[in-house]
Amino acid sequence: MADFGGGDLETFRAETRAWLKANYPPSLNAPMSEDDAPWGGRRFEWKNPDAKLWLDRMAERGWTAPMWPKAYGGGGLSKAENKVLEQELRRLKARPALMSFGVWMLGPVLLEYATEEQKQRFLPAIVRGETRWCQGYSEPGAGSDLASLQTKCEDKGDHWLINGQKVWTSYADQADWIFCLVRTDTTKKHEGISFVLFDMTSPGVEARPIKLISGSSPFCETFFDNVKVPKDQLVGKVNGGWDIAKRLLQYERQNISASGFGGGGGLDLVEAAKKEVGVDASGKLADGDLRARIAHHRMDAHAFTLTVRRAEAESKQGSGPSAAVSIIKYAAAKMNQERTELLVEALGLQGLGWEGEGFTPDELAAPRAMLRAKGNSIEGGTSEVNLNVVAKRVLGLLDHQ
Ligand SMILES: Cc1cc2nc3c(=O)[nH]c(=O)nc-3n(C[C@H](O)[C@H](O)[C@H](O)COP(=O)(O)OP(=O)(O)OC[C@H]3O[C@@H](n4cnc5c(N)ncnc54)[C@H](O)[C@@H]3O)c2cc1C
């Protein structure tokens, strides 16, 4: 395998383009459905063998985590090289090789806070898509006020003992491992929290799926009943988990924002509206009000994309996201909710199908995506909470609390 570290960018681009052309399976050119999403992990069933082949090829180069160090299975790419890789993947309209909480959230904080042994143990398996992770943060009494969490973790000498409950744990029923916030000191709030990792098949772990308005069950209530966790699976310092938790949330918001949420089938808003509503004599969308709202949305969406690109370009190499990512997460949620609502409106009756004949798969995906998007302003921190972060930590408006 060629070593691209530090070489000439144009050579890197040419070699990357050639490699992708030779290795991206053409069968993946069809739009990716929710069923096709490449989550990986021990319990994951690959419906399309080419998707697994794509993962294995990308993982072998470390390109499922392109900027992680090679020592932990990553690609070792510089920021500039990573940008080229992203451009070339976009050019090919390539599907992601791996969708992974491990790559998006856990890995970056392990790189910052974990011991060498923990990095060696957990990071390469994330890169290869072998371990699927879930996020044990929220509890019935601790969502926005996350530091109120009560899940208890006691030091039993040779192990930790965990008791408590999490909620809204996305894919807990399909994950192999969990990164979990626990209370190791009940006398303090933020300074009594630790960050632990454990296997979801440990005795005493139970995940119960919750059904959503969109019809799917992407998340669970998760119960811990006397779960024993080896001592070396606590990351950072005992009672020092809050800093790691906050850092991970920044990575989560960054990734949510970069993906722009998306989803909702392959329909283009303008084309769908023209088809359903019709056009006037000059070829414009016949409904002037809808036309104005779609145009407004598209201008905002374009400005949003440019802002995300500028923020990426401005962020210093290797320093990761800052509190300013809350601005982008807030806007990304608003943008996706607007887009999915406009699409359902534009589709008229064709946008109201739930199942059965008379609707295309893309039409059926539209109302589900619109309902799913309601969660965008809640997940990864609510819009209100993100605005609080912007007020306090970006604009410095409130210095108390
Ligand atoms: C799709 C989805 C996936 C999720 N996945 C996960 C997951 O994998 N793991 C996990 O741990 N959690 C997950 N969550 C949970 C999510 O992080 C919480 O729902 C979120 O943090 C809000 O907490 P809450 O639901 O308890 O609402 P609350 O905190 O009770 O908030 C209720 C309302 O009060 C407002 N509010 C609260 N505090 C303030 C304040 N200080 N200022 C202004 N307004 C405020 C909120 O904005 C909200 O409108 C997921 C949620 C969704 C929707």
Whether residue 75 sits in one domain with residue 150: no
Whether residue 176 sits in one domain with residue 90: no
Whether residue 189 sits in one domain with residue 272: no
CATH of residue 48: 1.10.540
Whether residue 144 sits in one domain with residue 42: no
Atom of ligand 1 nearest to the CA of 384: 47
CATH of residue 190: 2.40.110.10
Q: How many domains does the chain have?
A: 3
Whether residue 176 sits in one domain with residue 267: no
CA 150 vs CA 73, 153, 186: distances in Å: 35, 9, 8
Is residue 252 part of the annotated active site? The answer reads: yes
Find how far residue 325's CA is from the centre of its chain: 14
- Decide: 255 in ligand 1 pocket, CB within 6 A: no
DSSP string, 49-85: HHHHHHHHHHHHTTTTSTTS-GGGT-----HHHHHHH
Q: Which residue, judged by its Cα, is nearest atom 38 of ligand 1?
A: 144
- Taking each helix axis as running N to C, give the angle between helix 269-277 and helix 325-347, from 0 to 180 degrees, rounded to the nearest 10: 20
Whether residue 93 sits in one domain with residue 28: yes
Tokens representing residue 237 in the block: 């310092």
Tokens representing residue 260 in the block: 């722009």
Q: Which domain covers residue 138, as residue numbers?
A: 133-240
Q: Which residue, judged by its Cα, is nearest atom 26 of ligand 1?
A: 143
Query: CA 131 to CA 199: how far, in whole Å?
Result: 10
**pLDDT tens string for the chain (401 positions)?**
444 445 699 999 999 999 999 999 999 987 777 778 899 999 999 989 999 999 999 999 999 999 999 999 999 999 899 999 999 999 998 999 999 999 999 999 999 999 999 999 999 999 999 999 999 999 999 999 999 999 999 999 999 999 999 999 999 999 999 999 999 999 999 999 999 999 999 999 999 999 877 667 788 999 999 999 999 999 999 999 999 999 999 999 888 777 666 666 678 899 999 999 999 999 999 999 999 999 999 999 999 988 888 877 776 555 677 888 899 999 999 999 999 999 999 999 999 998 889 999 889 989 988 998 998 999 989 999 999 999 998 899 976 54
- Decide: 382 in ligand 1 pocket, CB within 6 A: yes
Whether residue 70 sits in one domain with residue 21: yes
Pick from 227, 241, 224: which is nearest to 165 by CA? 224
Q: Is residue 248 part of a domain?
A: no
Whether residue 366 sits in one domain with residue 271: yes
Tokens representing residue 49 in the block: 């063998």
pTM of the model: 0.91
Whether residue 324 sits in one domain with residue 231: no
Atom of ligand 1 nearest to the CA of 140: 26
- Decide: 360 in ligand 1 pocket, CB within 6 A: no
Cβ of 400: how many Cβ atoms within 10 Å? Answer: 4
* Selected catalytic residue, list 88, 252, 276, 341: 252
